Amino acid sequence: FPPPGNGYIEGKELENFFQELESARKGAGVDSKKDNLGDKMKEFMHKYDKNADGKIEMAELAQILPTEENFLLCFRQHVGSSSEFMEAWRKYDTDRSGYIEANELKGFLSDLLKKANRPYDEPKLQEYTQTILRMFDMNGDGKLGLSEMSR
């Protein structure tokens, strides 16, 4: 939802987020109250916009997501400094191509989930891999360059 590099959701992006959320809830058979979308957004912001800046930042969004789906926060905890990031980069760029391809990303996510003691199966790992690629592969080449991964 946020544009590349922005790091937060606000305005129209937040409205789109809520529309997607409502659509997903309906698709999952969750009965949605007939509340006004604007009222839901205000309630949501009051509850989750911890610094009251009118934006939902990645750290705030990560707190909302179910634990099982929250691998971004897990990544930030696993790779806290730039030196740890570069160490992880070198470890998982196994072919030394300068990119993290899907199979290398899958290995990284598998190790990350094991370290965090979060259960997963092969289909879920594949889903996580594709989600990360959709979120961060800005040029659509199916792999993550250093600048994409560092985002």
Provide the 10 A C-beta neighbour count for residue 33.
Answer: 7
Strands (E), 15-96: 56-57
The structure's pTM equals 0.51
Answer yes or no: are the C-beta atoms of 93 and 104 closer than 8 Å: yes
pLDDT digits (tens, 9 = 90+) for 26-46: 766 666 565 677 777 788 788
Q: 142, 140, 139, 138: which is closest to 151 by C-alpha? A: 138
Domains and CATH numbers, the chain: 8-150 (1.10.238.10)
136, two tokens: 């961060």
pLDDT digits (tens, 9 = 90+) for 91-141: 889 999 999 999 999 998 888 778 767 778 899 889 888 888 888 888 999
